[in-house]
Amino acid sequence: MIRSVILALAATVLAVAPCFAQAVGHVQVKFVKAALVVGGGGGSGTLTYRGRHYRFIASGFSLGVTAGASVTWLEGTASGIRDVNDFAGSYALVGAGGAWAGGVGGVSLRNEHGVVLALKGPKAGLEFAANLGGLTISLR
């Protein structure tokens, strides 16, 4: 009797669990940046999450050893999303990279809601960077 109650309870939990499971989103963003020690930039992109597309804008800053200007097309994943509104927020990053007429950029960021972005992609321009920075994402 107890075993059947436990099995029935387990089946109910397993049937309900996917509704609350975190799904991984796909992110594409174009980011334009200019810097000389202190830098700033902005861009826009699309989050694809649970079959829907959400447009967003991103703005950021950097402080450290930075010089140049670049355009980066980043693509990757957003994990830890429980609700699409968790994607918006302030992200902290630590990164390094460079481009001389072309190169590759990559970054890992985390926001206050626990969402982690893992992005990489081609970079065009002339830039060297080893810095700390932040990024703010707002859904449109």
Q: Which secondary-structure segment (H or E) carries 113?
A: none
**What pTM was estimated for this model as a whole?**
0.72
Q: Structure tokens of 3?
A: 């075993």
How far is residue 117's CA from residue 26's CA, in Å, rounded to a whole number? 9
| pLDDT bracket for residue 103 (50, 70, 90) | low
| Residue range 57-81: mean pLDDT, rounded | 84
Secondary structure string (H, E, C) spanning 43-64: EEEEEEECCEEEEEEEEEEEEE
Q: Which residue ranges make up each domain of the chain?
A: 25-139
- Pick the more confident residue, 38 or 28: 28
Q: Which of 10, 84, 16, 83 is nearest to 46 (CA)?
A: 84
